[in-house]
Amino acid sequence: MLKKIYFVTGNDYKFQIAKKAFIGSDIILIQKRLDTPEIQSDDLKKIASFSIKWASNLLKKSIFLSDAGCYIEALNGFPGPFIKYINKYLTAKELLKLMAGKKNRNVIFKDCLAYCEPGKKPVLFLSSIGGKISAKPGKSGQTSINEIFIPKGFNRTESEISRDQMVLFWKNNNYNYKKLIQFLKK
């Protein structure tokens, strides 16, 4: 019997990645657009836990969501889980000004996938993917972070890589979806 699960996200890119990851799993993935409250914390797990509990209790369904953080080593982990605000208020050029004179261009993207059933404790899956911060912005039109992030294994920014390639990259390198699928099949 096929199982249905709801992915709470308004981000079509995230949903595309998840759909790709769930192919062949016998689990039907349904996108649920819902703005969830995010507590102000630098702890990705706490943010994801709060949001998923709130959404699960509101919707009365088994759901999951993804919360991400971008941790730039030379900036002591900034912006961390505050990517949404950085993308909203800073351009790629402004972000790169913060990197002026910095030799260390390493960055870690962390993704916290949170699953919850109504009235139960959330189950969290955490994964990390490395990369570099570019010296200059890539193609504009996406997010500020995408315009300066060079994923591991590439020599250009995420904004300069095709959407299909990036969906495949995130699907293959974000092990959270595999962990969630295994958990759901238990």
Give per-residue pLDDT as tens, 112-130. 999 999 999 999 999 999 9
Residue 36 DSSP class: P
Span 3-184 CATH architecture:
Alpha-Beta Complex (3.90)
* Other CB atoms within 10 A of residue 173 CB: 16
Measure CA of the first residue to CA of the last residue in the chain; give whole Å. Answer: 14
For the question of whether the overall pTM of this predicted structure is more than 0.75, the answer is: yes
List per-block mean pLDDT (blocks of 10 residues) for the chain, which spans 186 residues: 88 93 93 92 96 95 95 98 94 97 97 95 97 95 92 96 93 91 91
**Catalytic hit among 35, 67, 111, 164:** 67
Whose structure tokens read 């505050």? Answer: 82
Q: Quote the pLDDT of residue 1.
A: 59
Using DSSP, how many helices (H) and how many strands (E) does the chain show? Answer: 6, 7
- State the pairing for strand pair 123-133/78-80: unpaired
Q: Where are the domains of the chain?
A: 3-184
> Do the bridges between strand 123-133 and strand 149-151 make them parallel or antiparallel, or are there none, so unpaired?
antiparallel
Specify whether 164 is catalytic.
no
